[in-house]
Chain A
């Protein structure tokens, strides 16, 4: 093999790319992982992991200049001093909006695996059946049983903490002990259970923070600092850096190349196979070709789709995978920012110890079993209870020694939760290329054209009303519902733009995540999703990636690729 030749190329080093690199290299393939951004080395490069608010010039508040430079990021919480530099540069890599779309991207080794919220839930059986039963979009080409062993596999390695609940709506997995609920949450859980006769459950969240050490991976259990997105020096949560990358490197089969913007998949139209990829060196602008037998696209849903659109355009004007007419369509996310908060009386002699990186979860119960609503699908809640800190009622407390003493004591307990709802795959929710606007490397950028529709809007009413109803039923005070509006993308769970399906006419990928028109190209990030469920999706990307990688290696051995 020449220096530019590998068995497999993995594009992107985030959650899914890390898994692809690990699985392919552990199965003996020589793998090249290409990442457009800079390298971030585990522990060594987590430069803010030990800082406190006072270490930042503006105590972690974004400056006006930062807001000017990051017009998208500033729309929500991600813009701050502590994670600054961990988000895609919006000037170098812009996109345009027919309709507002908030795209929160991490362009560096590890991708958003360093920044993610780590909530990790399995899809359930019904999630894979609903499209077909309801006549929505297309049927998934796989069922829960196809993925279940792969969920087991990735959960064991990643380390997911959670409790076994025996609920069909939220299948149990291979869990480490859960992160505990606090005293208020436990009581509220009991009251909700009673009030709703066991149909609604407030349970431990399931998350990729480990509660037991994983010495074989050099990872210590979570130390409860709640600074995960600065990078964890303990390896307390799953990221590419803490888990999949070291495993892949250990095989001696992986080469990681940062600053490598993959611009095209190279395609041989006679053989109907990809032959490799074209890369633009992000620093030198040099164009380089790398050859391989397999190509895994894990650049995150929209970037993998962009890459397909930019490839094989001499054969298909719309790019590789566009023959179905579905490439770039069916954008989904989870809609949220709606729920309720309430005050909790009592418990003033109680406090918590440690800062949890996750709170509680209430799995979906709408349109489940006998429940029927005037919309399809459902939602789950994420929330927590806590005592107010020094931020409480600053404006009301006067000035002087009393204010100072008052703010130094915790306030009363309060509780809040936000619902995450499923968005249906609508064909006209789409992204496409804008050839008028180019990024720093002269490449066309994406246009976003996505909105939520009647089904989601109807669901949002329940998402707010139900939260209030549960808090009322639990006897809480000052219950307040809220809907602070949602713009597509804010869920940071964008997906669906190169969906899996049962035939090449209505989908981009087959049941093994192979591009119908180029079976040695696998897309295993969020682009492949046929529907969204209402649970956070990354665990499912992990399982799909591991499954596809195992299949790809078998197929390669069988000489089919």
Chain B
């Protein structure tokens, strides 16, 4: 059974169950949910493209990094979800000043190292060069320190978090099912084919 069949089957039995109690129309409203439309509005909200903690230059560095960390493949990548804007916003509102400093310092350092090596800003570099630089950073190679690597991993984790909790990440990269309708303790992995999104899975 494919995921889709699974979902449709369960959706149908769900609607049946709900219809008994609440009337079918109400049930389909629930399943359609208003969440989706709210979400669409959110992601296209240009108000969210306002610099928060970072400078324009730092945001550009971060955007290039996000693009390398989660690139576009046959599915969208981090840039298409505005992940860099998300991370800037998150840093501003959810982190304390020490952590914020860690983020801005490493973004500056990446840029400075790029300037020294290529005479160009990090965001203006060739992809291969950018990739080499970040790989060196993650592996704590000269001129990067342990603290730099740690700072990079914090940013990387934030990008990954932002992406896999975005609508694109949750619905296109991961298996998304807002109302499974039932539980099965064992299904063939092939019938799902990817990790589940979100939830607080037990």
Q: Let me know if A390 and B195 touch, CB within 8 A.
A: yes
Q: Let me know if A51 and B20 touch, CB within 8 A.
A: no
B198 within 8 A of A: yes
As a 0/1 sequence over residues 343 to 361 of chain A, the CB contacts with chain B under 8 angstroms (1 = contact) are 0000011111111111100
Beyond A55-B38, A352-B183, whether A50 also contacts B178 by CB under 8 A is yes
B43 to chain A, nearest CB (A): 7
A354 CA to B71 CA, complexed, in Å: 30
In the complex formed, the residue of A with least CB distance to B68 is A399
A401 CA to B73 CA, complexed, in Å: 7
Give the number of residues in B that approach A within 8 Å (Cβ atoms): 72
Q: Let me know if A355 and B160 touch, CB within 8 A.
A: no
B38 to chain A, nearest CB (A): 6
From A55, A354, A390, contact of B184 by CB (8 A): A354
A58 CA to B161 CA, complexed, in Å: 11
A221 within 8 A of B: yes
Beyond A213-B21, A234-B18, A359-B202, whether A186 also contacts B185 by CB under 8 A is yes
Task: Tell me which residues across on chain B come within 8 A of A234, comparing CB atoms.
Answer: 18, 30
Q: Let me know if B189 and A357 touch, CB within 8 A.
A: no
As a 0/1 sequence over residues 48 to 90 of chain B, the CB contacts with chain A under 8 angstroms (1 = contact) are 0000000000000000000011110101010000000010011
B12 within 8 A of A: no
Give the number of residues in A that approach B within 8 Å (Cβ atoms): 67
Q: Let me know if A389 and B195 touch, CB within 8 A.
A: yes
A225 within 8 A of B: yes
A58 CA to B70 CA, complexed, in Å: 20
B164 within 8 A of A: yes
As a 0/1 sequence over residues 180 to 196 of chain A, the CB contacts with chain B under 8 angstroms (1 = contact) are 11110110000000000
A484 within 8 A of B: no
A62 within 8 A of B: yes
A353 CA to B201 CA, complexed, in Å: 10
As a 0/1 sequence over residues 517 to 544 of chain A, the CB contacts with chain B under 8 angstroms (1 = contact) are 0000000000000000000000000000
A477 CA to B165 CA, complexed, in Å: 30
List B157-191 residues whose CB lies under 8 Å from chain A: 157, 160-162, 164-167, 169-170, 173-174, 178-191
Q: Let me know if A394 and B35 touch, CB within 8 A.
A: no
In the complex formed, the residue of A with least CB distance to B196 is A389
A458 CA to B167 CA, complexed, in Å: 47
B75 to chain A, nearest CB (A): 8
A358 CA to B166 CA, complexed, in Å: 26
A174 within 8 A of B: no
As a 0/1 sequence over residues 139 to 161 of chain B, the CB contacts with chain A under 8 angstroms (1 = contact) are 00000000000000100110011
Q: Let me know if A182 and B186 touch, CB within 8 A.
A: yes
Q: Let me know if B192 and A351 touch, CB within 8 A.
A: yes
Q: Let me know if A404 and B71 touch, CB within 8 A.
A: yes
Beyond A220-B17, A227-B199, whether A349 also contacts B182 by CB under 8 A is no
Beyond A52-B39, A54-B166, A220-B22, whether A354 also contacts B94 by CB under 8 A is no
B126 within 8 A of A: no
As a 0/1 sequence over residues 379 to 421 of chain A, the CB contacts with chain B under 8 angstroms (1 = contact) are 0000010110110001100111101110111110000000000
A186 CA to B178 CA, complexed, in Å: 26
As a 0/1 sequence over residues 119 to 141 of chain B, the CB contacts with chain A under 8 angstroms (1 = contact) are 00000000000010011001000
Chain B contact surface mostly:
helix
Task: Tell me which residues across on chain B come within 8 A of A400, comparing CB atoms.
Answer: 68-69, 71, 131
A133 to chain B, nearest CB (A): 37
A213 to chain B, nearest CB (A): 6
B25 within 8 A of A: no
Q: Let me know if A58 and B160 touch, CB within 8 A.
A: no
Task: Tell me which residues across on chain A come within 8 A of B173, comparing CB atoms.
Answer: 390, 404, 407-408
A58 CA to B169 CA, complexed, in Å: 15
Task: Tell me which residues across on chain A come within 8 A of B18, comparing CB atoms.
Answer: 220, 234
Task: Tell me which residues across on chain B come within 8 A of A213, comparing CB atoms.
Answer: 17, 20-21
A559 within 8 A of B: no
Q: Let me know if A58 and B182 touch, CB within 8 A.
A: no
Q: Let me know if A52 and B178 touch, CB within 8 A.
A: yes
List A233-288 residues whose CB lies under 8 Å from chain B: 233-235
A179 CA to B39 CA, complexed, in Å: 31
Task: Tell me which residues across on chain A come within 8 A of B162, comparing CB atoms.
Answer: 59
Q: Let me know if B186 and A63 touch, CB within 8 A.
A: no
Task: Tell me which residues across on chain A come within 8 A of B190, comparing CB atoms.
Answer: 349
B93 within 8 A of A: yes
A53 within 8 A of B: yes
Q: Let me know if A358 and B202 touch, CB within 8 A.
A: yes
A61 within 8 A of B: yes
Task: Tell me which residues across on chain A come within 8 A of B89, comparing CB atoms.
Answer: 57-58
Q: Let me know if A403 and B69 touch, CB within 8 A.
A: yes
From B22, B34, B165, B201, contact of A386 by CB (8 A): B201
A28 within 8 A of B: no
Task: Tell me which residues across on chain B come within 8 A of A351, comparing CB atoms.
Answer: 186-189, 191-192
Q: Let me know if A224 and B181 touch, CB within 8 A.
A: yes
Q: Let me know if B183 and A353 touch, CB within 8 A.
A: yes
A417 CA to B178 CA, complexed, in Å: 27
Q: Let me know if B174 and A179 touch, CB within 8 A.
A: no
A132 within 8 A of B: no
A-B contact pairs, 29 of them (CB 8 A): A51-B35, A53-B170, A53-B198, A54-B43, A58-B89, A58-B93, A213-B20, A213-B21, A225-B180, A226-B201, A226-B202, A351-B186, A351-B187, A351-B188, A352-B201, A353-B192, A355-B180, A358-B202, A359-B202, A386-B201, A389-B201, A394-B156, A399-B156, A400-B71, A407-B195, A409-B194, A410-B189, A410-B195, A410-B196
Q: Pick the 4 closest A-B CB pairs, nearest first.
A: A182-B185, A354-B183, A354-B180, A183-B186
Q: Please report B residues at the A interface, Cβ cutoff 8 Å.
A: 6, 10, 14, 17-18, 20-22, 30, 33-35, 38-39, 42-43, 68-71, 73, 75, 77, 86, 89-90, 93-96, 131, 134-135, 138, 153, 156-157, 160-162, 164-167, 169-170, 173-174, 178-192, 194-202
8 additional A-B pairs beyond A54-B42, A233-B30, A356-B201, beta carbons within 8 Å, are A59-B86, A63-B93, A179-B183, A181-B185, A213-B21, A352-B186, A354-B184, A407-B160
